[in-house]
Structures are given as structure tokens and as C-alpha cells.
Amino acid sequence: RNQKSSSSGHCLAVVLSRLANAVTPLWRLPYQEQLQVKYENQMKILQTLASRLEELGIDAQKPGGLCCPLQPVVPSPIINGYRNKSTFSVNRGPDGNPKTVGLYVGTGRERNIVCVKANHVENIPSKHKQVAQCYEEFICHSPLDSCILFHEGGHWRELVVRTTSCGHTMAIITFHPQQLGQEALATQKALLKDFFTCGSGAVCDLTSLYFQESTMTRCSHQQSPYQLLHGAPHIFEELLGLKFRISPDAFFQVNTAGAEVLYQEVGELCQATGDTVLLDICCGTGTIGLSLAHRVSKVIGVEVVEKAIEDAEWNAAFNGISNCEFHSGKAEAVLPQLLASWEDARPLVAVVNPSRAGLHYRVVRAIRNCRSIRRLLYISCKPEGEAMRNFLELCCPPDPRKKLTGERFAPMLAIPFDMFPHTVHCELLLLFTR
């Protein structure tokens, strides 16, 4: 028995280490060494961009083979437990429990996926881990199965936890309805609400409890509305002296303290004056534009998530900011129309903060072809990915075949921000001018 127990403990330790290495691969390194690793990674990205520009006939080589000067990585004010949003999966755990709530280790290709509790992962705050543990307790007592593979049935799926520095906690539970009728669904929602308000889950002290019925891997509010089971419809965050309302699916930088440092630098690099118009593309809840509104004459925000735009408008009104307008829709549909008829003589500065997928080509083309935009700040969480394509589209020579007729941009400065301690990722701020 002792040998079996020792072997089991060793196997669990191995799995826990594998999870930490997968989610936070730099967690064993002292923080200064983490920053050095990230700096070297960003150097390689800028060297790649310089080489790619050389292939296009653009002399972009700077000292070190970089396309522009690279500043040291700006450290995160908070190193552990900094995430304000965590997504937990439901699947089979190392002990065979099919209702384990945690993070994945392994790959589908090798068929060795296992779901491991995230209790030891350093970038996830204790509140998130507490809600995940309570959700696991609830579904383990539920007669309904977890939904591991859609076609095999089951119901209980993902958990998203969002928290703020104001002490607010939002939990969003995804549920596959399969063939359940409305009465059965209502029963499950009532049980879930009771557990988190009167049962063991009450210890989580949730500000908001949401429920979403989804038959897809990812589902927007428009496809299947988030249903508020308990509490307030929104949670609130404070950033740079402003208060922001956050909806279940609204984008908000995952490291709030780090975002404050990033946005302050964005404000400096914008070089905005009292007559500047700030174009905030992929604006989310309006954090960047609203934080800079006092420096400019006008802010124009564009965002695809409709609920995020509602939040941005509320945020502007609540904070007494009246020089902002927000447009809901895909940037590739909204921006070309907006800039095609642009006749405002005021200086126009653009800030883009897209997802990992980068900007749609029509967005880049609209920016390139708008002569009023002389200064562009690109914030990328994955500059080595699709963003690299955007950088090249912004900086390549004019190409009438691709309808890129505007003067090209040039990279002037790169500043990495460590928004994700213990991981290899950085948020890279690139300044382009023309």
C-alpha cells in the first residue's frame, strides 16, 4: 500500500509539474531572468521584421539587426495571481474523475489530454481557484454528466471567472443543453443559483453568476445570450482614476495593474495635443480611449462586441467624459466607411489593440490610405503571429494591385510590457510613423 501510495503521489507531482510548465513555462526562473528571456524573444521578432522588410526592398536594419530601437521589458507591478480572468475546462482528471475542473495537459493528437486542477499555478489568483473548486464540488454532486465530447452527450462545461481590484467576482458557466427541455434546464439553473447563494458555493461571494447554454465550443452573446442567475449584471474595475463597467464577454486587459502602465506609455507616445482626434480600434470597453480623452479633442472607438460598446458608452457617461463616440461592428466594415469620408483637419492618431488574429486586411488598408493618420500605435499580444503580417502591410511600399496607395509607415520604437509573468508572452507596443 505504501508503494502504491508513493507511486500515485509521484505521478500526481509529475502531472502538476507538467501543467505548471505548460501554462507558466518560466515559473522556475527568478523574475529578472524571466524579463531577460522575454527581451531576447522580442529582439528576435524585431530582427525577423527587419529581414522581412529588407526582402521588400526597404532598408530597415538598425543596430543589432533590429527594425527599430527596443527598450527593456517593462515589468509587471504584480507578479503572482495577476490574472483578472481565468477559463477552466471540465474533463477527466489524473485520478479518472470525469468532472475535474482545471486546465488541460496533453494534446488531442496524442490522445493524452488530462484536466488538472490549477491550485498550484502561480498566475491564477486564489479567488479564481476557489470558484473552480466550488464548481467542481457542485457538478460532482449533480446527476448530469460533464460534456467532454459533444456527440457523446453530457452537460457541464467551461467555467470563466472574472475578478476586479474592487473585490467583485463574476462566474460564467457554460452548459450544453443536449435534449433537455425548458423545465429541466430551469431546475439546473435553480440548483446552481442555490448552491452559490445558500450552499457551499456561497463562500465565493459572487457578485454575478451567469449561465450560458451553448452547443458550440465558443458562443457569443448574440448566438446564445448570457443568462444572469444571481447578482448584478456587471462588475466594475478602476483604472487610472476612472471606473469601468465590464460585461461577461467584454474584453479587458487580463493584467489590470500592468494595463495601467501600458496605457500611460500609450498616452506619452501618442504625443496628443488639444486638437488631436484619437482613433481607438478594437477598443473593448473603451479603456484606452477614455483614459486619454482628457488629452485630446475627440475619441472615436470601434469594437465588434456589442455589449462592450454598451459598456464603453456607460463608462464615458459615468466618468463625465463627453468627447467620445463609439461604433459597434467589425472594424473591417466600420473603419473603411469612417475614414473614406474623413475631412477633419485635426491631427488623427490611431491606436490598435487587436486579438491574436491581428487586424483584417481591410482595416490596414483603410489606415494606410488615410493621409491624416501620421502616427500609429500597435499593441500586440502575439507579435510573432498574424500581427507580423499587419506590420509588413503597414510598412511595405505602395501597391496599387492591393489597393495600398497610401504612404508607407516605418517602425520607430518598440516597448515590451510584461503583462503575463511566468509565461513567455509579452504585450509589444510598436510605434509607427510616416
Answer whether residue 212 is part of any domain: yes
What's residue 167's pLDDT? 96
Q: With bands split at pLDDT 50, 70 and 90, how would you rate the model's confidence at 30?
A: very high
pLDDT digits (tens, 9 = 90+) for 80-108: 999 999 999 999 999 999 999 999 988 76
User: How far is 233 from 206, CA to CA, in rounded Å?
Assistant: 12
Name residue, grid cell 483637419.
Answer: 345
Question: Would you state the pLDDT for residue 398?
Answer: 93
Torsions phi, psi for 256 (to 5 deg): -65, -45
Is-contact 377 352, C-beta < 8 A? yes
Q: Of 178, 205, 234, which residue sits at a domain end? A: 234
Residue 25: count of CB within 10 angstroms of its CB? 15
Over residues 383-397, mean pLDDT: 95
38 within a domain of the structure (yes/no)? no
Q: In angstroms, what CA-CA distances link 157 with 89, 137, 215, 396?
A: 7, 14, 10, 45
How confident is the model at residue 109, as a pLDDT?
Answer: 74
Segment holding 429, helix H or strand E: strand 427-433
Name 73's Cβ contacts closer than 8 Å, sequence gap at least 6: 35, 38, 39, 42, 416, 417, 418, 426
pLDDT tens figures, 177-220:
999 999 999 999 999 999 999 999 999 999 999 999 988 777 66
Q: Which of 108, 118, 45 is nearest to 422 (CA)?
A: 118
pLDDT band at 8 (very low <50, low <70, confident <90, very high): low
pTM, to two decimals: 0.91
Pair 166, 230 in one domain:
yes
Specify if 290 maps to a domain: yes
pLDDT, residue 220, reads 65
- Distance between CA atoms of 351 and 365, rounded to whole angstroms? 15
pLDDT of residue 55: 93
The catalytic residue positions are: 381
pLDDT at position 222 is: 67
Q: Is the pLDDT of residue 52 over 70?
A: yes
User: Is residue 77 domain-resident?
Assistant: no
Question: Is 243 among the domain residues?
Answer: no
Instruction: Verify that 161 and 276 share a domain, yes or no.
Output: no
Tell whether 163 and 120 lie within a shared domain: yes
* Orientation angle between helical segments 386-395 and 361-368, nearest 10 degrees: 30
Q: Is the pLDDT of residue 400 over 70?
A: yes
Identity of the amino acid at 186: A
- pLDDT value at position 389? 96
Contacts of 211 (CB under 8 A, 6+ apart): 172, 173, 175, 189, 192, 226, 227, 229
Regarding whether 308 and 219 lie in a shared domain, the answer is no
CA distance 68 to 46: 7
The predicted pLDDT at position 175 comes to: 96
CATH value at residue 139: 2.40.50.1070
Are 226 and 324 in a shared domain? no
Q: What percent of the chain has pLDDT over 70?
A: 96
Spell out the residues 6+ positions from residue 167 whose beta carbon is closer than 8 angstroms to its own: none
User: 84: Cβ–Cβ under 8 A, 6 or more apart, which residues?
Assistant: 162, 163, 164, 237, 252, 254, 255, 256
- What are the cell numbers at 142? 449533480
- Give Cβ neighbours of residue 265 (< 8 Å, ≥ 6 apart): 74, 415, 417, 429
Give yes or no: residues 278 and 344 share one domain: yes
Q: What is the pLDDT of residue 180?
A: 93
Give the end of a domain, one of 203, 234, 265: 234
| 230 & 274 share domain | no
- Per-residue model confidence as pLDDT tens digits over 344-367: 888 899 999 999 899 999 999 999
Q: So what's the pLDDT on residue 221? A: 67
- Over 60: is that where the pLDDT of 5 sits? no
**Do both 113 and 162 map to the same domain?**
yes
CA–CA separation, 380 and 389 (whole Å): 12
Q: Which range of residues forms the domain containing residue 191?
A: 85-234
pLDDT computed for residue 309 by the predictor: 93
| CATH code of the domain covering residue 374 | 3.40.50.150
413 shares a domain with 314: yes
pLDDT tens for 310-357 read: 999 999 999 999 999 999 999 999 999 999 888 888 889 999 999 989
pLDDT number for residue 16: 83
Asked, for residue 184, whether it belongs to a domain, the answer is yes
Q: Please check whether residues 219 and 300 belong to one and the same domain.
A: no
**pLDDT at site 296:** 95
Please report which confidence band the pLDDT of residue 256 belongs to, taking 50, 70 and 90 as the band edges.
Answer: very high
Query: Per the domain annotation, does 384 fall within a domain?
Result: yes
Q: In this predicted model, which residue has the larger pLDDT, 8 or 126? A: 126
- Mean pLDDT for the stretch of residues 21-39: 96
The C-alpha atoms of residue 376 and residue 287 are separated, in whole angstroms, by 17
Which segments are annotated as binding site?
A: 253, 303, 353
Determine the average pLDDT of the residues in 250-264: 95
Give the number of domains in the chain: 2
214 with 182, same domain?
yes
CA separation for the pair 228, 233 (Å, rounded):
7
Q: What is the mean pLDDT of the chain?
A: 92
Within-domain flag for 1 = no
